[in-house]
Amino acid sequence: MKKTIVIDAVYAEPGGTGLARYAREVTARLIPGLSSRFRVVVVGTAAYTGSRGDVFIQAPDNVSPNNGGKAHVYRLLWRWFILPRRLSGHTISGYYAPIPEAAGLKTKQVLTVHDLIPLQFPKLHIKLAWLFWVQLFLVSKKASIVIGGSECARLDWVNWGSCRFKGRSRLVHDGIDVPEKLDYKEEKLKADEPPFIMYVGDTRVYKRVDVLIQALAKTNQLINLKVVGKVNETQKKNLEAIASSCGVLNRVFFCGFVDDNELHSLYRSTAAVGLATEAEGFGLVPLEGMVWGAPAVVSDIPVLREVLGNYAHFVPVNDIAAWGAAFDRAVDEQKLEIYEDRVERINFAASYSWQKTASNIESILVEEFSPDE
C-alpha cells in the first residue's frame, strides 16, 4: 500500500507573484511526479486550480495569501489546530510546504526557506516581523529538512537556526520560466525612443530603486529607466521626488503591471535589467531577463554572485557613479551586438528551470518519505 504524503498548496493560487509563483510552479510539477509512489493529499483554497492529487482538503478562504496580513495569523492557527483534525483519518508519512510555514502534525516535514529579509529589515515589516520569527521558530522545531532556494538563503537559515534546528538543510535553487524555443536573435531597440534600463518588482526601500534613478544623472548618454510592477502612490511620489531632484524625472517611466507578452518584449529590447537591491533571496528577475537575452546590471551582493556567476555586471550598491558607468557600458555593448555573449547568457539562464527545481525537490521528498520496498 502506498504511503500518504501531504502537499501544502495553499500559496499556489493563480495570479500571485513571489512565494505564490514559486508554490504554484513547484507543486504543479511535484504532485503528478509523486503520485506514482505515494498517495498524495493536497491542501489548497477554493481558488486553487492545480492538480488535486488523490485527496483534496479545502482550506478556508481567510487563510489565502491574497487576504493581507491577517491571513498570516489565520494560516498559522489553521495549520496548527484545524489541519491536523482534517487529516485525522489519514496515516501521514510526510508533509511538504514550499514556504517556511510548519504544520502541527506529528510527522516528518520538509519546508522551504527563501530568505530572512523580514528579520534583516524589521522596520519595513513592523507588523509581520514578529510573526515571521514565530514561523521560523516553529520550522526549526518541526522540519526534518529545510530547503534553501539559494546557498546564501540556506546558510542564513543555518546561522539563524543554530542550536534551535536539529534537522538537515539542503540546497535547491529556485527556477524560472524557460521558453520552449530559446530565441537567440537580437531584437532591435525601437527607433522612436532612447535605450532604457528596466527594473521589475516592488519598490520597497531595500530594493534601492532610488539608486537606479540617481544613476541616470551620471550617464554620459541619454538613457531611460522603466519601472515594471505595482507601485503604491506613496512610493511612486517618493521616487518621483528623487528623480526630480536629480533632473531626470522625464526619463523615469512607471509601467505598472504588464502581461507576460509585454514583459518578454521589454526584456528583449532593454539595454539591461537593473537590480540595485541590498538583499535578495535568489535573484529571479535578472535570470528571467537573461533567458530572453537581456544583460543584467546588479548589486554586488553574495546571493547574486552565487546565482548569476560571470553573466552579470556587478556594482557596489551605493556607488551611484559606478551604476551610471555600468548603464553606459550596457548600452554600448548592446550596440555592438555580440551574438556569442547573448547565446551564452540565454543558455546559462535556461539552466535554471522550474522543472529542474521540482525534480530536485521530488528526489528529496522520495528519499525522506520513501515507502518501504
**Is 216 found in the same domain as 171?**
no
Going by pLDDT thresholds of 50, 70 and 90, the confidence category of residue 283 is very high
310 located within any domain: yes
Calculate mean pLDDT across residues 14-18: 83
* Residue 246 placed within a domain: yes
Residues 326 and 357 in one domain: no
Statement to judge: residues 219 and 325 lie in one domain: yes
Residues 103, 246, single domain; the answer is no
In this structure, the answer to whether residues 19 and 165 fall within a common structural domain is yes
State which residues form the domain around 8: 4-175+353-369
Within this chain, do residues 169 and 239 fall inside the same structural domain, yes or no? no
| pTM of the model as a whole | 0.93
**What are the residues whose beta carbons fall under 8 Å from the beta carbon of 139, sequence distance 6 or more?**
100, 101, 102, 111, 113, 146, 165
Residue 335 confidence (pLDDT): 82
pLDDT for position 190: 56
Q: How many domains in the chain?
A: 2
Q: Is residue 250 part of a domain?
A: yes
Same domain, 343 and 361: no
Residue 96 domain flag: yes
Q: Give the torsion through C-alpha atoms of 352, 354, 355, 356, to 10 deg.
A: 40
Please identify which residue in the block is written with the cell numbers 522550474.
354
- If asked whether residues 152 and 256 sit together in one domain, one would say no
- Mean pLDDT for the chain overall: 93
Residues 11 and 155 in one domain: yes
Q: Per 3-state DSSP, what percentage of the chain is helix, strand, and coil (rounded to 5)? A: 45, 15, 40
Q: Tell me the average pLDDT across 102-131.
A: 89
pLDDT tens for 25-61 read 999 999 999 999 999 999 999 999 999 999 999 999 9
- Per-residue pLDDT band for 97 (boundaries 50, 70, 90) equals very high
Contacts of 197 (CB under 8 A, 6+ apart): 212, 223, 224, 225, 226, 270, 271, 272, 273, 274, 297, 327, 330
- Would you say residue 150 lies in a domain? yes
Region label for 102, one of left (φ > 0), alpha (ψ between -120 and 50) or beta (otherwise): beta
Q: Is 310 found in the same domain as 227?
A: yes
- What does the pLDDT look like over 289-337, one tens digit per residue? 999 999 999 999 999 999 999 999 999 999 999 999 999 999 998 888 7
Asked if 295 contacts 345 with a C-beta cutoff of 8 angstroms, the reply is: yes
pLDDT at 372 over 70: no
Instruction: Give mean pLDDT, residues 107-131.
Output: 88
CATH number at residue 220: 3.40.50.2000
The answer on pLDDT for 24 being more than 90 is yes
29 in any annotated domain: yes
Apex 132 CA angle, 131 and 137, nearest 5: 95
Q: 21 with 104, same domain?
A: yes
138: in domain: yes
Do the domain assignments include residue 185?
A: no
Which strands sit side by side in the sheet containing 196-200, from one edge to the other? 252-256, 224-228, 196-200, 272-275, 296-299, 313-315
The pLDDT of residue 188 is above 60? no
Helix (H, G, I), strand (E, B) or coil at 298: strand
- Please report the pLDDT score of residue 189 as a whole number: 53
Check whether residue 335 and residue 358 sit in a common domain. Answer: no
